[in-house]
């Protein structure tokens, strides 16, 4: 008997003649994500995919990783055996009792994809259920069958090549395979919203790179590390990510000197849009991604979004635009970024914040303010000093020279003690 990971496709099953392309993208992502855990073989058939670990491979690590792979609707560990009732019964007898320890009830569900198999699904379930009852009774841990509300659901699948016996599956990450929907450049601020936007677009199959704007020395090195930590956490879903860090200190200082205070935030955001588009084009990305939610802050009114959008030369995707803060926080907690997002390190948008920012700006007046500066020259200067950090499998490849290490676990523990 061999234990493997059995996963089911999600939306891929609806792709018709294009299905193969999405399957190939899914397999490429899985191969990359599972490589650190040891050798394995991948097989795909009948809208399912199996990963069979090699001897000595870390199946626990592989399983945990597979649960976060976009494109899979369900993931479970299963015993694979020959497609005979004798082999299925033996696999159930050996494999299933470990999952019933401390449980009181179970039921068996069977699916017979291979219609040539001599028993029908109800008959398979009945026979396997009897085997399990006998095995548990023999071990001195009797259980009962409960078809309405069981503690454990045992599944038997008779497929074209093999039979599989499992003790339930978990929901997969869903969505579309990484890279199957193009590339996007996300504006990663360090707040709660932008990591959620990254997750949501990655779940739709976009390969993601990020751009972060800093204002050193008004913002600290720890603020940058916070953003890199958010990117590392997001790599639990994306597998890899590049973060482009651009300083807008000089742009902010010049805007503060030469433009009216009320327009400062809008002019800065327009500049960030242009810089993001340049970084995106250099990286081969076809769209920008932001965490904006309509009406959440002064710069996210419809009029303000219209003005900032006009500065972008690429489509701007806003997956959070119709969500309220509670909904965004719920997703943030789910994906594990919330506690890092609320660490008290400033970002560039909090520097020189106007007391009364324009919420209903007129495009002509915004352009008139912008014309007071040579924005092209300032942005060329900013782009000449871009820093890049590659994060692969949760590790920052490029080191930050001269920056003291910070234990984020200690920071979170300290915050927890203060609550």
The one-character DSSP state at 177 is -
Does residue 285 have a cis peptide bond before it, meaning omega lies within 30 degrees of 0? no
Order of all β-strands in the sheet with 240-247: 316-317, 288-289, 183-187, 207-214, 240-247, 387-392, 395-396
Q: What is the CATH number of the domain that holds 53?
A: 3.30.2130.30
Same domain flag for 37 and 135? yes
229 inside domain: yes
Same domain flag for 236 and 312? yes
Q: Which domain holds residue 75?
A: 2-171
Count of the separate structural domains present in the chain: 2
Question: How far is the C-alpha of 317 from the C-alpha of 289, rounded, in Å?
Answer: 5
Q: What is the pLDDT of residues 236-266, one digit of tens each?
A: 999 889 999 999 999 999 999 999 888 888 9
CB 285 within 8 A of CB 209: yes
Same domain flag for 206 and 295? yes
Q: What is the CATH number of the domain that holds 256?
A: 3.40.50.620
CB 54 within 8 A of CB 141: no
| Domain-terminating residue out of 116, 140, 171 | 171
CA-CA-CA-CA torsion sign (288, 292, 297, 303):
positive
CB 337 within 8 A of CB 227: no
Q: Which pLDDT does position 397 carry in this prediction?
A: 60
396 inside domain: yes
The whole-number average pLDDT for the span 58-69 is 94
Question: How far is the C-alpha of 309 from the C-alpha of 342, rounded, in Å?
Answer: 27
| Domain-terminating residue out of 171, 201, 230 | 171
Question: How far is the C-alpha of 89 from the C-alpha of 323, rounded, in Å?
Answer: 49
Q: What is the pLDDT of residues 314-366, one digit of tens each?
A: 999 999 999 999 999 999 999 999 999 998 877 767 666 766 777 788 889 99
Q: Which pLDDT does position 345 carry in this prediction?
A: 76
Q: What is the pLDDT of residues 76-103, one digit of tens each?
A: 999 999 999 999 999 999 999 999 999 9
Same domain flag for 379 and 299? yes
Same domain flag for 370 and 222? yes
Q: What is the pLDDT of residues 404-414, one digit of tens each?
A: 334 444 444 44
Tokens 């913002």 found at = 219
The one-character DSSP state at 112 is E
Question: How far is the C-alpha of 262 from the C-alpha of 141, rounded, in Å?
Answer: 72
| Domain-terminating residue out of 146, 171, 196 | 171
């Amino acid at each position: 008997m061999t234990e493997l990971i059995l996963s089911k496709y999600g939306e891929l099953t609806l792709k018709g003649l294009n299905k193969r392309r999405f399957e190939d993208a899914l397999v490429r992502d899985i191969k990359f994500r599972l490589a650190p855990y040891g050798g394995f073989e991948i097989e795909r058939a009948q809208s399912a995919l199996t990963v069979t670990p090699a001897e000595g491979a870390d199946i626990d690590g592989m399983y945990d990783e597979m649960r976060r792979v976009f494109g899979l609707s369900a993931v479970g560990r299963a015993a694979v055996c020959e497609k005979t009732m004798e082999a299925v019964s033996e696999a159930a007898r050996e494999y299933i009792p470990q999952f019933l320890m401390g449980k009181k009830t179970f039921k068996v569900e069977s699916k017979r994809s291979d219609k040539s198999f001599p028993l029908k699904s109800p008959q398979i379930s009945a026979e396997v259920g009897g085997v399990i009852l006998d095995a548990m009774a023999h071990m001195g841990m009797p259980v009962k069958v409960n078809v309405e509300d069981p503690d454990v659901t045992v599944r038997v699948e008779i497929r074209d090549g093999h039979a599989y016996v499992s003790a339930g599956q978990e929901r997969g990450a869903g969505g579309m395979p990484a890279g199957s929907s193009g590339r996007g450049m996300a504006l990663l601020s360090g707040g709660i919203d932008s990591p959620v936007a990254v997750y949501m677009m990655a779940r739709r199959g976009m390969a993601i790179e990020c751009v972060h704007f800093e204002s050193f020395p008004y913002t600290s090195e720890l603020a940058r590390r916070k953003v890199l930590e958010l990117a590392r956490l997001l790599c639990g879903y994306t597998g890899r990510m590049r973060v482009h860090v651009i300083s807008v200190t000089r742009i902010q200082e010049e805007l503060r000197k030469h433009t009216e205070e009320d327009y400062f935030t809008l002019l800065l955001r327009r500049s960030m849009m242009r810089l993001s588009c340049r970084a995106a084009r250099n990286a081969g990305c076809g769209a920008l991604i932001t965490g904006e939610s309509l009406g959440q802050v002064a710069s996210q009114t419809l009029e303000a979004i219209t003005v900032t959008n006009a500065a972008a030369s690429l489509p701007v995707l806003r997956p959070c635009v119709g969500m309220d803060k509670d909904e965004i926080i719920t997703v943030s907690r789910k994906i594990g970024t919330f506690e890092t997002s609320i660490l008290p390190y400033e970002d560039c948008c909090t520097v020189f914040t106007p007391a009364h920012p324009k919420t209903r700006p007129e495009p002509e007046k915004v352009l008139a303010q912008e014309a007071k500066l040579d924005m092209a020259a300032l942005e060329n200067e900013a782009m000449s000093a871009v820093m890049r950090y590659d994060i692969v499998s949760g590790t920052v490849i490029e080191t930050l020279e001269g920056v003291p290490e910070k234990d984020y676990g200690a920071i979170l523990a300290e915050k927890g003690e203060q609550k």
